């Protein structure tokens, strides 16, 4: 691999590790310094490697440069060195030494602690996701802006305000006390769930699937499982849900990048290994006596790994949606529950329930009504599909609805 190809790859995998470890050392209030040191490290690689060649161990080279740059910073800024004197060794004849241990365990611990810091409830969910993308996913400002369908200025302001709030609240990069972990973990899981959904059901960008977002959310969720204090049933359930959805990635879009609906997917393309992992994590989630929404959604996702339309499948999905709506109501869950009702019982019963929802600003509501009326009243189905098309937010959704309208033209 050439240096111009390797550096961006390493930036994605190593930038966040360097920021997490240096950020942990310097403190959240000096996170920009950690960012600058990490960025300068990769600039050094871009400037050096094309002429001197790629080091045999490129990752170790990056870590060594990052450590030297951190030490140089401390040397140049004596006033700052005094503030963190308890963290470093320094004598009159010796430059400050920074304990920048970038071993696997230190990296995992630092990233986990950073995850809890950036997912603190003092900042809004979209700010939490942005910070997680930036400091834990190694995403550039422009990439984050693309994910949220906005510009770099908006993201820079969002990140700045979020960091200011964390500073004002004196949030530390550390795991919460054991008594607080359960409550704080809920916020972290919500952020990771939204993070994953931004990739899987993105309305922020005209692409069917942002696999990079999904895989990064899965990696961060797995970090939680690797720590004894955060390896809890709800975490296992969330990772199970992610695995089940990720198993269908290869079948979810065609060669033109257009979405392939579940019913039309080639199940031979589904990733059996990820399905097995999803089942494993769902079993691990069965410990304890508390059921979270992630347990229920993972169980629903499990049934969708069985392609056949059996009565058992749809009755099970219907009952799971009934439980989910009692636990935490959401319009999308209500719509999905109505579809399951049509499959488990009949379309007439589902139509009665669907029309009660009155989600008149939701394009998926009208898509569902179009589906339910398809074999009952073609004219009504066409009207609802057209409304759905008007309300659809992405080109991908519009293409999907247009295909349904095209099929109606031949009925």
Task: Determine the pLDDT at residue 254.
Answer: 77
Q: Among 40-54, 59-73, 253-267, 292-306, whose mean pLDDT is lowest?
A: 253-267
pLDDT in tens, 172-220: 999 988 888 888 898 899 989 988 887 787 655 555 567 877 888 899 9
The model's confidence at residue 399, banded by pLDDT at 50, 70 and 90, is confident
pLDDT at 212: 78
pLDDT of residue 257: 67
Residue 252 has pLDDT above 90, yes or no: no
**pLDDT mean across residues, the chain:** 87
Task: State the average pLDDT over residues 342-358.
Answer: 93
pLDDT at position 91: 42
Question: Does position 365 have pLDDT exceeding 80, yes or no?
Answer: yes
Q: What is this structure's pTM?
A: 0.83
**What does the pLDDT read at residue 205?**
52
| Residue 99, pLDDT score | 60
Q: What is the pLDDT of residue 93?
A: 42
Average the pLDDT over 341-365 and give the result. Answer: 93
Res 98: pLDDT: 56
- pLDDT one-digit tens code per residue, 78-100: 555 555 555 554 444 444 555 66
Residues 281-293: what's their mean pLDDT?
A: 94
Predicted pLDDT at 92: 40
Among candidates 346, 298, 288, which has minimal Cα distance to 320?
A: 298
3-state secondary structure the chain: CCHHHHHHHHHHHHHHHHHHHHHHHHCHHHHHHHHHHHHHHHHHHHHHHHHHCCCCCHHHHHHHHHHHHHHHHHHHCHHHHHHCHHHCEEECCEEEECCCCCCHHHHHHHHHHHHHHHCCCCCCHHHHHHHHHHHCCCCCHHHHHHHCCCCHHHHHHHHHHHHHHHHHCCCCCCCCCHHHHHHHHHHHHHHHHHHHHHHHCCCCCCCCCCHHHHHHHHHHHHHHHCCCCCCCHHHHHHHHHHHHHHCCHHHCECCCCCECCHHHCCHHHCCHHHHHHHHHHHHHCCCCCCCCHHHHHHHHHHHCCCCCCCHHHHHHHHHHHHHHHHHCCCHHHHHHHHHHHHHHCCHHHHHHHHHHHCCCCCHHHHHHHHHHHCCCCHHHHHHHHHHHHHHCCCHHHHHHHHHHHHHHCCC
Q: What pLDDT, on a 0 to 100 scale, did the predictor assign at position 141?
A: 87
Q: Which one is predicted more confidently, 299 or 261?
A: 299
Q: Is the pLDDT of residue 5 over 50?
A: yes
Q: Of 138-142, 255-259, 269-273, 311-315, which gets the smallest average pLDDT?
A: 255-259
Q: 113-154, pLDDT tens digit by residue?
A: 999 999 998 999 889 989 988 888 878 888 788 777 688 999
> Tell me, what's the pLDDT at 349?
94
**pLDDT at res. 357:** 93
């Amino acid at each position: 691999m050439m240096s111009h190809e390797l550096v961006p790859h390493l930036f994605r995998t190593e930038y966040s590790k360097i920021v997490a470890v240096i950020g942990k050392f310097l403190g959240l209030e000096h996170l920009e310094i950690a960012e600058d040191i990490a960025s300068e490290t990769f600039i050094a690689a871009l400037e050096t490697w094309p002429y001197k060649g790629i080091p045999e161990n490129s990752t170790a080279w990056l870590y060594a440069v990052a450590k030297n740059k951190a030490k140089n910073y401390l040397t140049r800024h004596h006033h700052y060195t005094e503030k963190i004197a308890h963290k470093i060794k320094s004598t009159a004849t010796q430059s400050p030494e920074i304990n920048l241990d970038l071993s696997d365990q230190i990296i995992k611990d630092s990233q986990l602690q950073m995850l809890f810091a950036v997912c603190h409830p003092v900042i809004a969910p979209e700010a939490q996701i942005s910070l997680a993308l930036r400091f834990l996913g190694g995403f550039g400002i422009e990439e984050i802006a693309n994910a949220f369908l906005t510009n770099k200025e908006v993201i820079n302001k969002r990140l700045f305000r979020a960091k200011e709030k964390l500073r004002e609240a004196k949030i530390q990069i550390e795991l919460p006390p054991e008594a607080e972990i359960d409550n704080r973990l809920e916020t972290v899981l919500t952020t990771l769930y939204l993070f994953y959904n931004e990739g899987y059901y993105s309305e922020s960008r005209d692409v069917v699937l942002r696999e990079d977002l999904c895989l990064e959310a899965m990696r961060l969720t797995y970090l939680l499982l690797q720590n004894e204090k955060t390896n809890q049933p709800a975490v296992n359930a969330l990772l199970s849900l992610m695995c089940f959805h990720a198993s269908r990635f290869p079948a979810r879009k065609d060669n033109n990048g257009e979405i392939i609906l579940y019913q039309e997917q080639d199940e031979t393309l589904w990733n059996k290994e990820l399905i097995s992992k999803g089942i494993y994590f769902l079993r691990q989630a069965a410990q304890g006596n508390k059921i979270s929404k992630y347990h229920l959604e993972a169980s629903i996702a499990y049934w969708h790994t069985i392609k056949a339309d059996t009565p058992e499948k749809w009755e099970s999905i219907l009952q799971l949606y009934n439980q989910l709506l009692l636990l935490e109501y959401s319009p999308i869950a209500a719509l999905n529950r109505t579809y399951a009702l049509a499959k488990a019982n009949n379309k007439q019963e589902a139509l009665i329930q669907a029309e009660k929802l009155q989600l008149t600003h939701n394009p998926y509501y009208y898509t569902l009504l179009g589906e339910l009326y398809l074999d009952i009243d073609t004219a009504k189905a066409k009207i609802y599909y057209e409304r759905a098309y008007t309300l659809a937010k992405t080109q991908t959704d519009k293409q999907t609805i247009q295909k349904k309208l095209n099929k109606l033209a031949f009925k």
